[in-house]
Amino acid sequence: MDVVRRRLWRQLQTHLPVEKWRLHANQPRQVCHGQALQRDNPAMIKKFLTIVALLSASAAMAQGKTRPAWTQQSPVPPLSQPISVAQMNALGIGALRPAYYLIRPTNAQMCISQASGGLLEKPHLKLATCNPADQRQLFAIVQFDPQQYATIHSAGKLEGTNLTECAKSARGVVFGPSRVDLLPCTDGAERDHIEISWQPARSAYKIVHHKEVKEVNSDLRGEINYRPFCWAMRGGGRGEGTDVILWPCEEGSEQFFDIVEIRQLERDTLHWDRIQYSKWWWHIDGYRQAFMAEGISLGGIDYASFETSHDFGNSCVRRCLDDAACKAYTWTSPDYEAYLGAQGNRTSICHLKSNVGTPLFRGTNYNNLVKSGVIRPR
């Protein structure tokens, strides 16, 4: 850089002879030659200012290059805040991988089961004594990202290797709440939008049908809208045989559910078109998803930590996916490690965890500096 400076200075001396720097004899002594020069030769002044700007820029660049990368920008201190529900979903807490589940309302000690249909009614859902060995109580859930939409397939009736009946709102209901029936999954015209969301305040799930509703608008014209209705037990009941209905979403315990995984969903059990958009992929222990939340660190116990390339956590999440012992991970950048006072080399670190621990939001300034994901929440 000193060579560049000397070269620019020689150019400055070449274009601006020494006598040009002196005061004009006929000008007052307090008037510098810059004013006279601007009047006599504006092009020379422009060249002079350009060279000075180049000298200043080169000096600033030299100073910047000598500073370590992690000291060029000092972020504000990391926060330690609880995470929001949206961040919890991005992290993967409460995510339901494609598997067979028991579903139990939190207001009862019974599980939801398939009730056989009759001459005038479709198969539907009701409460029964919990029995994980009963196929009628197992439901294959495929949850989609990022809206948490899902399909709930009944395992009570199989056709070859494909689950054929899905939970949907009963059709043709004129008065009263709709019951949750089991209807053909392939009937696209009758497909509900089902959302299964984890509610951390209740440590349970809500199951919401975005149901097609015919309404009259302000112009007195009919229109079709989607309105949310939650799974609930008819009349708040908790006894055997109580129907599952759709009801306006409230905070009653009959609208919250424990969803317990019984066994993993075998590969190719569902047609690929049912799962291709879910972002769940088959790994060594079944379906897993590469969750990654920005600006969040996990406090779980590290069973392994190692340096990685600065690839924003991609290699770290792959290592966790491929290791059945890995429950979660946290990836930290060199800047994050430096700010926390880490000694030694400033490198990206991958922390593989044997338990999830407490997630903490570090602030939006740390979105690209620390990332975490929960791969195996249970």
Using alpha carbons, select from 3, 70, 69 the residue that is nearest to residue 341.
70
Amino acid occupying residue 35: Q
pLDDT of residue 3: 55
Q: What DSSP designation does 110 have?
A: -
Instruction: Give me the DSSP letters along 3-34.
Output: HHHHHHHHHHHHHS-GGGGSPPTTS-TTS-HH
Residue 295 and residue 226: Cα distance in Å, rounded? 34
Same domain? 326 vs 193: no
Residue 81 in any domain: the answer is no
Same domain? 345 vs 317: yes
pLDDT of residue 76: 60
Which of 14, 45, 66 delimits the end of a domain?
Answer: 66
pLDDT, one tens digit for every residue, the chain (378 residues): 555 556 555 655 555 554 444 444 444 444 444 444 444 566 666 666 676 666 666 655 555 444 444 444 545 666 677 888 788 888 888 888 888 899 999 999 999 998 887 777 888 999 999 999 998 899 888 876 545 567 787 765 443 334 678 888 887 776 788 899 888 876 554 456 788 888 888 889 999 888 766 666 667 676 777 788 999 999 999 999 999 999 999 999 999 999 999 988 877 666 555 666 677 888 878 888 889 999 999 988 899 999 998 888 999 999 999 999 999 999 998 877 666 655 545 788 999 999 988 899 988 888 888 999 999 887
Number of domains in the chain: 3
pLDDT of residue 55: 62
Which of 259, 286, 313 delimits the end of a domain?
Answer: 286
pLDDT of residue 67: 42
Same domain? 161 vs 262: yes
CB 339, CB 75: distance < 8 Å: yes
Same domain? 282 vs 319: no
pLDDT of residue 131: 94
pTM of the model as a whole = 0.68
Same domain? 137 vs 190: yes
pLDDT of residue 96: 86
pLDDT of residue 260: 93
Residue 214 and residue 222: Cα distance in Å, rounded? 7
Find where tokens 């479709």 sit.
Answer: 122
Residue 87's H or E segment, with its range, is: helix 85-91
Same domain? 20 vs 57: yes
Same domain? 15 vs 105: no
Q: Is 50 helix (H, G, I), strand (E, B) or coil?
A: helix
Domain containing residue 360: CATH number: 3.50.4.10
Residue 192 in any domain: the answer is yes
Query: Sign of the CA dihedral 270, 275, 276, 280?
Result: negative
Residue 306 in any domain: the answer is yes
Same domain? 204 vs 295: no
- Around Cβ 324, how many Cβ atoms within 10 Å? 13
Residue 256 and residue 138: Cα distance in Å, rounded? 18
Using alpha carbons, select from 68, 10, 47 the residue that is nearest to residue 346.
68
Residue 134 and residue 100: Cα distance in Å, rounded? 12
Residue 353 in any domain: the answer is yes
Residue 228 and residue 208: Cα distance in Å, rounded? 6
Buried/exposed code over 151-176 (b: 16+ C-beta within 10 A; e: otherwise): bbbbbbeeeeeebebbbbbbeeeeee
pLDDT of residue 19: 46
Domain containing residue 230: CATH number: 2.80.10.50
Residue 325 in any domain: the answer is yes
Longest dimension (CA), the chain: 117
Same domain? 261 vs 137: yes
Give the structural domain span for 39: 2-66
Same domain? 13 vs 126: no
Residue 73 in any domain: the answer is no
Same domain? 272 vs 328: no
Residue 27 in any domain: the answer is yes
Residue 79 in any domain: the answer is no
pLDDT of residue 36: 45
pLDDT of residue 24: 44
Same domain? 187 vs 280: yes
